[in-house]
Amino acid sequence: METTRIGTRGSALALAQATETRDRLMAAHGLPESAFEIVPMSTSGDRIQDRPLSEAGGKGLFTREIEEALLDGRIDIAVHSSKDMPTALPKGLDLLAFLPREDPRDAFIGRSARTIMELPDGATVGSSSLRRQALIRRQRPDLQVITFRGNVQTRLRKLEEGQVEGTLLANAGLKRLGLAHVVTDLMPLEIFPPAPGQGAICIEARVDNPRVAELLAPINDAPTATALACERAFLAALDGSCRTPIAGYASTEGETLKFSGLIITPDGSQAHDIAAEGPVSDAARIGRDAGAAIRAKAGAAFFDGWF
């Protein structure tokens, strides 16, 4: 029996996502655990801790080394957080499956207050995401918002030490780590829209490997794949990366897809939103058209200094 090697980042969350993928594959095919090997890998994004990722190169920093391992055959599949994935993938690779999406909302974890609105004037909040930083500033322009790097456990430790009074993390990741109890407030999607892909695990593989395509097909969640096709098309139309504060969320109801998107300046002072819907079969077109429409609505000057 051929062992399927699953590439992943080495953080606790990444390993939890790889383990969930392995367990779903075992259940779908009646395979033993020994049929799979989880291969943790270090990425540039994990190693760079001294500056914002937006200054170091953006989203691809979390995927480059893993994709190189895919292309040269050291691993068979790669498990990623969808929100970390660039919209343009290396030639020969594709996203072949998405697991059922977890809660897409952002979670606030407060030390001295339960919500962002209850924080004292001038309090310091930490986040590594430009989108979250911009949305915090929009809600509370008085707060000091600082870049806050590290994995989930590192950020929670920094919070406990008092380096900041609050931080925001993806609720999906906290739930997957069994840390939902640390959340003091869940941010409503309408006020604090998520990053495109947030809460969804994607699986990347070589397009010339039919064995792997057959292996992954039964665990692909169609509603999540459809929603992500729309969100990623929206992101691609805006040239989205870690350097751009962009939010987007799609959901399906029967044969209808509903999408909402937002672009916001890094200081939170200006924002434009858009809503669209249509048949699920048009998911990518809906996202692409929404991206083009919001770009036209904002005007070229809105994007000055973004890229």
Instruction: Give the CATH H-level superfamily of domain 222-307.
Output: Porphobilinogen deaminase, C-terminal domain (3.30.160.40)
> What tokens appear for 90 in the block?
């290396």
Output the furthest CA–CA distance in the chain (Å, rounded).
Answer: 61
Query: What digits encode the pLDDT tens for the residues 113-151?
Result: 999 999 999 999 999 899 999 999 999 999 999 998 788
CATH T-level fold of 106-186: D-Maltodextrin-Binding Protein; domain 2 (3.40.190)
Query: What digits encode the pLDDT tens for the residues 269-290?
Result: 999 999 999 999 999 999 999 9
When pLDDT is cut at 50, 70 and 90, the band that residue 168 belongs to is very high
Instruction: Give the CATH H-level superfamily of domain 1-100+201-220.
Output: Periplasmic binding protein-like II (3.40.190.10)
CATH 3.40.190.10 residue ranges of the chain are: 1-100+201-220, 106-186
Provide the mean pLDDT of the chain: 92
Query: What digits encode the pLDDT tens for the residues 83-110?
Result: 989 899 999 999 999 999 999 999 999 9
When pLDDT is cut at 50, 70 and 90, the band that residue 258 belongs to is very high
Distances (CA, A) of 26 to 34, 41, 103: 10, 22, 24
Q: Residue 240: its pLDDT value, please?
A: 57
Q: Residue 60: its pLDDT value, please?
A: 60
Query: What digits encode the pLDDT tens for the residues 54-72?
Result: 454 455 666 889 999 999 9
Q: Residue 56: its pLDDT value, please?
A: 45
Q: What percent of the chain has pLDDT over 70?
A: 91
Q: What is the mean pLDDT of residues 155-183?
A: 96
CATH 3.30.160.40 residue ranges of the chain are: 222-307
The sign of the torsion formed by the CA atoms of 129, 103, 87, 303 equals negative
Q: pTM value?
A: 0.91
Burial annotation 89-98 (CB, 10 A radius, 16+ → b, else e):
ebeebebbbb
Q: To 10 degrees, the CA torsion angle through 214, 67, 153, 37?
A: 50
Q: Distance between CA atoms of 223 and 24, rounded to whole angstroms?
A: 17
Query: What digits encode the pLDDT tens for the residues 27-43?
Result: 999 999 999 999 999 86
List active site positions: 84
Q: What is the mean pLDDT of residues 153-172?
A: 95
